[in-house]
Structure 1
């Protein structure tokens, strides 16, 4: 079973850890519009694609000793390299050694024995531009959430600059061969949607015979999706692509306790829950809702239960979701 997964950030890497337990044929297509942190520094200094999200996905799909995982995530604490991760530097070195990203990532995939592969959404140097509902624009991913929060406005839409970035031929081929295509989880406007703005990607997904899933986030993101519900997330994706990129929505219906959510509420985040009204709205669009408790809490961090979602996705057949795993609408995944 071949899976193609689109996203970025922490959400995608967590999902990949669950998926690799059930299949080794995974293509993780990662957004490369990041211009902040250590990735932004390397991007500016070396003229390379930002490596941070790709690093996280490489680690998630890897089959190496725990010490190597720790090494890849290690961040220097002093000097010029303060805040930079070893994994980012390794990707930068491989890029310089082999001269192009595709070759470098294939070699890294072999070294780390990946259960699949990691692909950048494009090889072009691209920036993310956000258009707010008050008419203002912000260029650069790292500045968008803070600007939106301070302005009190909402994001109307986003675009890539340049606006017609080309996808990798390998990504196009993988979409055409996919059995399952997954969007998310991850930041809606800065991780998920940018992948759909690359030339022809939305159309290729829409035309694919694969089952298409969107995994909705568990929490809103301040400065990006304030007060959004599941339906709002889906509507934003469709606005930036087309109706036929989603067949199924995987959404949480389990209320998280006030104690567990306290730190998130302090930062302005709220829980996202599916309900009957949203289910009705989505089913009117011929989008099926898969609802259950998809929450896993580790070290006070609220995350998707990647094992449960991985098992659910990989139970898919071309006719249906296996009955023991999930039913639709008001019914729940087990």
Structure 2
């Protein structure tokens, strides 16, 4: 089935695995899909908020929201279909309130197939998805965090809303045991030419994936170049005062080795008077750039103005970040 899903890619110039979650992963994949690359998305399953959280709790399935967004981004389906797939019922729709059609479709197929991977592959064929999409594990995970004040919280939404400085995070399955990724995920990591971490929330979008022991082990031994796309803004309470090298340090510590080879860092300046701080209250301020400290951790810093200003907020520019990443893929020695 995976061979069928990848058939649209011609004369692939590299196998690229993007690990993460949230909007950042979809933004990056949306830019990369225009290049001749064999794309694989590995997606976090620790989300427990909104429609995804409700379906996760009622059906004991992986949260479908990030999976849905990635599939929509990589799909060659018509705009009319994608509009319907992404349609979200309004808050007055009773038991359907705030659910998306796509989330419900993924839930239905997961129940029919009794297997989330089979559901995703089936839907990928229907939607003509250009690439491979895998949840990092086939069951919902609980994100756990211990904070510097020695308190502990379980649940991604609760951790995010706590706005407290995190000391340590880990993930547990439904039995409180150590989770394990499926062979497809591990094989993708071991067979990649380039692995991309980010962009996305450090503690809730990226670390939940690489906290899984066999994923961390695969990252330690993969021959692939590992690229981290550093965040533009810090996250309130979690990464306040973090520099680019601080993000890299946390990633390396979580895996247990200096795995990051290249760090894509933003050199553009965020205008302080542009951001609506009430609307985007989860961010704090711009990440500090410290390329020399990044080099000390064995990684090559590559800088560029990657900012897109919209909706009174700051985001990675999909076109700019994908162009820079493609240049790195084409020229492994790029510095």
Specify whether residues 24 and 62 from structure 1 end up closer, same or farther in structure 2 by C-alpha distance, changes over 3 A only.
Answer: farther
For residues 163 and 226 of structure 1, what CA distance do their matches in structure 2 show? 31
Alignment pair present for 1:193 and 2:235? no
Aligned-pair CA distance for 1:95: 0.8
CA contact (8 A) 2:72 2:82 kept: yes
Alignment pair present for 1:46 and 2:62? no
Aligned-pair CA distance for 1:111: 1.3
Match in the other structure for 1:252? 266
Specify whether residues 306 and 94 from structure 1 end up closer, same or farther in structure 2 by C-alpha distance, changes over 3 A only.
Answer: same
Mapping for residues 92-171 of structure 1, pairs under 5 Å: 92-147=107-162, 149=163, 153-161=164-172, 162-171=176-185
Aligned-pair CA distance for 1:317: 5.0
Specify whether residues 319 and 163 from structure 1 end up closer, same or farther in structure 2 by C-alpha distance, changes over 3 A only.
Answer: farther
Aligned-pair CA distance for 1:136: 0.6
Specify whether residues 29 and 266 from structure 1 end up closer, same or farther in structure 2 by C-alpha distance, changes over 3 A only.
Answer: closer
SS of the equivalent of 1:261 reads coil
Match of 1:72 among 81, 85, 97: 85
For residues 278 and 246 of structure 2, what CA distance do their matches in structure 1 show? 20
Match in the other structure for 1:61? 74
For residues 194 and 131 of structure 2, what CA distance do their matches in structure 1 show? 14
CA contact (8 A) 1:22 1:311 kept: no
Specify whether residues 222 and 174 from structure 1 end up closer, same or farther in structure 2 by C-alpha distance, changes over 3 A only.
Answer: same
Aligned-pair CA distance for 1:268: 5.8
Specify whether residues 274 and 320 from structure 1 end up closer, same or farther in structure 2 by C-alpha distance, changes over 3 A only.
Answer: farther
CA contact (8 A) 1:34 1:40 kept: yes
Match in the other structure for 1:332? none
TM-score (norm 1): 0.89
SS of the equivalent of 1:21 reads coil
Deviates more, 1:38-47 or 1:312-321: 312-321
Mapping for residues 1-334 of structure 1, pairs under 5 Å: 1-77=14-90, 78-147=93-162, 149=163, 153-161=164-172, 162-263=176-277, 267=281, 269-275=283-289, 278-316=290-328, 320-322=332-334, 327=335
What is the RMSD of the two structures over their aligned residues, measured on CA atoms?
A: 1.9
For residues 60 and 318 of structure 1, what CA distance do their matches in structure 2 show? 23
**Which structure 1 segments of 5+ residues have no match?**
328-334
CA contact (8 A) 1:252 1:272 kept: no
Aligned-pair CA distance for 1:29: 0.3
SS of the equivalent of 1:200 reads helix
Aligned-pair CA distance for 1:197: 1.1
For residues 266 and 101 of structure 1, what CA distance do their matches in structure 2 show? 33
CA contact (8 A) 2:242 2:288 kept: no
For residues 264 and 8 of structure 1, what CA distance do their matches in structure 2 show? 24
Deviates more, 1:195-204 or 1:83-92: 195-204
Aligned pairs, number = 317
CA contact (8 A) 2:276 2:312 kept: no
For residues 38 and 118 of structure 1, what CA distance do their matches in structure 2 show? 20
TM-score (norm 2): 0.89
SS of the equivalent of 2:68 reads helix
CA contact (8 A) 2:280 2:313 kept: no
CA contact (8 A) 2:264 2:303 kept: yes
Aligned-pair CA distance for 1:299: 3.7
CA contact (8 A) 2:84 2:101 kept: yes
SS of the equivalent of 1:28 reads strand
For residues 156 and 109 of structure 1, what CA distance do their matches in structure 2 show? 38
For residues 308 and 285 of structure 2, what CA distance do their matches in structure 1 show? 14
**Which structure 2 segments of 5+ residues have no match?**
1-13
SS of the equivalent of 2:269 reads coil
